[in-house]
Amino acid sequence: MSEVKQIFKPNREFAANARIKNMCEYQALQDWAIEDYEGFWGSYAKEKITWAEPFTNVLDESSAPFVKWFDGGKLNVSVQCVDRHLETRKNKAAIIFEGDRGDVQAITYLDLFKNVNRFANLLKEDFGVTKGDRVVIYMPMIPETAYAMLACARIGAIHSIVFGGFSAEALRDRIEDAEAKVVITADGSFRKTKPYMLKPVVDVALEGETPVEKVLVVERNNEDVAWKSGRDYSYNELIKDKSSQCEAEIMDAEDPLFLLYTSGSTGKPKGVQHNSAGYILWAQMTMEWVFDVKENDTYWCTADVGWITGHTYIVYGPLAMGATTVMFEGVITFPDAGRPWAMVENHRINQFYTAPTAIRVLHKMGEDAPAKYDLSSLKVLGTVGEPIDPPAWKWYYEEVGNSNCAIVDTYWQTETGGHVVSPLPGATPIKPGCATLPLPGIMAEILDPATGEVSEVGETGYMCITKPWPAQIRGVWGDEERYVKSYFGDVKKDDKAVYFTGDGARYDEDGYITITGRTDDVINVSGHRMGTAEVEAAIKKHANVAEVAVVGKPHELKGEGIFAYIVLKSDDGVADEVEEVKAINGIIKKEIGNIALCDDIVFAPGLPKTRSGKIMRRILRTIAKGEKITQDISTLEDPTVVAKLEEMVNG
Ligand code: WT7
């Protein structure tokens, strides 16, 4: 089955000045990587990274899937992102911060250097943080968050950022799994001009036994917070007398840089580990290739720094290449859906990167808003997190981009560290909804899981990466086996286990890749991964819940919504449905956070199961979607339950 899609060629003027100017240049790079993989990567690593000591080996695959890149090389990621720019960019804005209430601050590379060094000295001197220690960062979108990340990198500590929307329980789990000894947080921040709080969540997360010795609190909204003496310290106080010189720890290429927890199809979230040299190299290269940011450009990614997009494309990538990166504390629809366009006009933003879910919301709430602003500075528009649907694409392209900007649909994951399949704005003819082609150096292939052969055009196969790449996940924190099983267990090519993303995909007749979505029990809510198993585990904590199954259901704005089928213990029907829903939502909020709240809850008489007791999620997904059941249900333990559920959900 092939579909004919409209093709949009790159803007010629743009292409003439782009780093990769046409498909011949793209193909030449990819051919180079195919013919001489180590030569390709070694050459870029030499050119792009400021090494303290050069590497002696490009790629060591001898213990695959545990791989080593740039062995022998020594560097410090904060030097790559800050120090090395001082010679030519000391007065250039590194970060332009716009607060929720419109306050703007430009932080030069020299300011950034000083702030990172002071922060590093604080962590070292006052908190005793040393190389290899884990530091959890639970912060709003403020410049101090970037300082904290780079300060950790400077002293060799491993940061683990927890998204500010996660609950105390979720924060506690991540702190414990990483055995963090320090938490960096803020009193809170502002949302829609009103203060909201983070520190109280940290206080709850640290109740009882905890590996955390000290908490650093950045005072942002100056609201009153509880203070535990001997544990809690004010950043604003401690930073005052810190020196702005802190020698960077010399790190091995493969020393861990950070952990970032993400959902899998089973069990608790995995601490995805990224290491130093390979990660920063690819963060920088993809910034340069995919966004094609130029020296005088201003680049804005709307993600939260608590997700991988914020790590790679707000902080590490832009700063590694010496760009100006915009950081926004607020809500993109406040005071109205013109906010991002006002920001584009105000800061003359050249590259704008956001998620399809945000585009749909902005489209819905402010269809005509882009026309009210001068968006002529825009050159490249990016999307990430899920496939972009045609109406959203069209509006983004025409109304935001004035039919003049490339749209880069970047496909990647927490585990890939940076983009892996994406158009290049000056080279790749784009098709709406299509992530197009593997980036140079990335051996991304759609494989048939049964045979390991490359999938036929139009056939949905498994999105795999068949050779290690520098920014790939290096491990699941504390669980080697889970790393191997989660990513290298499903697909073999030529008898060799290859990296499987968890996504389905298909080729079109031009070899373009369209991502069709997860093949596992992970749902994509507003561009973020949510494990159905995690949501189920939370719901099961409600005393009155006997059984639960959670599935994804298409959602107009979020992409996918969360749909829960719940069997209650009391069989005298549902005493008070409203009360039960409230209680269940309360538990989800406490265990995970608002991001995991269910869009639909159905109190089911039972769940469709096989005779061996396996819940048939496929049937539940079909019912949630409102589609007709076509699969055979005669082998179910109780086939009548299907009709009952269909009746309840779809009437
Ligand atoms: C999952 C990764 C990568 C940063 C944001 C989410 C889906 C991501 C695309 C895209 C279609 C996409 C995949 C992937 N995804 N980008 N351009 N087109 N699907 O990071 O939480 O690690 O989630 O997001 O399903 O596996 P994440």
In whole angstroms, give the CA distance from residue 124 to residue 46: 31
Reply yes or no on whether the pLDDT at 616 is more than 50: yes
If you search the block for the tokens 């609201």, which residue do you land on? 223
Q: CB within 6 Å of ligand 1 — which residues?
A: 262, 308-309, 384-387, 409-414, 435, 501-503, 515, 518, 524, 527-529
pLDDT of residue 2: 45
HEC assignment per residue over 10-76: CCHHHHHHCCCCCHHHHHHHHHHHHHCHHHHHHHHHHHHCCCCECCCEEEEEEECCEEEEEECCEEC
Each residue of 445-489: pLDDT tens digit? 999 999 999 999 999 999 999 999 999 999 999 999 999 999 999
Q: Could you tell which of 290, 515, 520 is best to mutate to test the pocket of ligand 1, judged by most ligand atoms within 8 Å of the CB?
A: 515
pLDDT of residue 576: 80
Q: For residue 212, which amino acid is it?
A: V
For 177, 229, 270, 328, 468, the CA distances from 190, given in Å and listed in that order, are 29, 26, 30, 11, 41
| 340 Cβ contact partners less than 8 Å away, ≥ 6 residues apart | 302, 332, 352, 354, 362
For 165, 262, 294, 407, 409, the CA distances from 428, given in Å and listed in that order, are 36, 31, 19, 10, 11
Tell me 289's DSSP state: I
Reply yes or no on whether the pLDDT at 443 is more than 90: yes
| Cα of 283 from ligand 1 centre, angstroms | 16
If you search the block for the tokens 């759609």, which residue do you land on? 446
Reply yes or no on whether the pLDDT at 352 is more than 60: yes
Q: What is the mean pLDDT of residues 289-296?
A: 98
Task: Please identify, by atom number, the ligand 1 atom nearest to the C-alpha of residue 463.
Answer: 26
pLDDT of residue 574: 59
| Cα of 229 from ligand 1 centre, angstroms | 42
511: left (phi over 0), alpha (psi -120 to 50) or beta: left
Angle subtended by helix axes 577-591 and 168-178, to nearest 10 = 30
Q: For residue 445, which amino acid is it?
A: E
Structural domains for the chain: 526-650 (3.30.300.30)
How much of the chain exceeds pLDDT 70, in percent?
A: 99
If you search the block for the tokens 């993109």, which residue do you land on? 332
Beta strands (DSSP E) in 199-277 are 214-218, 232-234, 251-252, 256-262, 270-275
Tokens of 529: 């991964």
Is the sign of the CA dihedral 232, 234, 239, 241 positive or negative? negative
Reply yes or no on whether the pLDDT at 502 is more than 50: yes
pLDDT of residue 630: 86
| Cα of 81 from ligand 1 centre, angstroms | 25
Tell me 472's DSSP state: S
Q: What is the mean pLDDT of residues 376-405?
A: 96
Q: Chain-centre distance of CA 24, in angstroms?
A: 31
| Cα of 415 from ligand 1 centre, angstroms | 10
Pairing of strands 214-218, 232-234: parallel
Average model confidence (pLDDT) for the chain? 96
Tell me how crowded residue 456 is: count the other CB atoms within 10 A of its CB.
Answer: 11
Residue nearest (by alpha carbon) to ligand 1 atom 12: 386
Q: What is the mean pLDDT of residues 38-64?
A: 98
Q: What is the mean pLDDT of residues 97-111?
A: 98
Reply yes or no on whether the pLDDT at 406 is more than 50: yes
Tell me 336's DSSP state: -
Each residue of 578-605: pLDDT tens digit? 889 999 999 999 999 999 999 999 999 9
Residue nearest (by alpha carbon) to ligand 1 atom 27: 413
Q: What is the mean pLDDT of residues 127-138?
A: 98
pLDDT of residue 571: 61
Tokens of 302: 């709307």
- At residue 87, what are phi and psi to the nearest 5 degrees? -60, -45
Alpha helices for 293-433 (secondary structure H): 308-310, 317-321, 339-347, 356-365, 390-395
Tell me how crowded residue 90 is: count the other CB atoms within 10 A of its CB.
Answer: 14
Q: Could you tell which of 411, 428, 519 is best to mutate to test the pocket of ligand 1, judged by most ligand atoms within 8 Å of the CB?
A: 411
Tokens of 97: 């911060």
Q: What is the mean pLDDT of residues 413-423?
A: 98
User: Of 465, 472, 371, 373, which Cα lies nearest the Cα of 418?
Assistant: 472
533: left (phi over 0), alpha (psi -120 to 50) or beta: alpha
Tokens of 58: 């490009």
| 170 Cβ contact partners less than 8 Å away, ≥ 6 residues apart | 162, 591, 592, 593
Cis? peptide before 470, omega within 30° of 0? no
Reply yes or no on whether the pLDDT at 1 is more than 60: no
Tokens of 412: 């990647």
Each residue of 146-156: pLDDT tens digit? 999 999 999 99
In whole angstroms, give the CA distance from residue 58 to residue 168: 42
HEC assignment per residue over 157-197: CEEEECCCCECHHHHHHHHHHHCCCEEEEECEEEECCEEEE
| Cα of 313 from ligand 1 centre, angstroms | 14
| 482 Cβ contact partners less than 8 Å away, ≥ 6 residues apart | 267, 270, 476
In whole angstroms, give the CA distance from residue 366 to residue 114: 41
In whole angstroms, give the CA distance from residue 492 to residue 449: 7
Q: What is the mean pLDDT of residues 510-514?
A: 97
Tell me how crowded residue 451 is: count the other CB atoms within 10 A of its CB.
Answer: 12
Reply yes or no on whether the pLDDT at 420 is more than 50: yes
At 561, is the secondary structure helix, strand, or coil?
A: strand
For 21, 263, 292, 515, the CA distances from 287, given in Å and listed in that order, are 15, 26, 7, 22
pLDDT of residue 572: 59
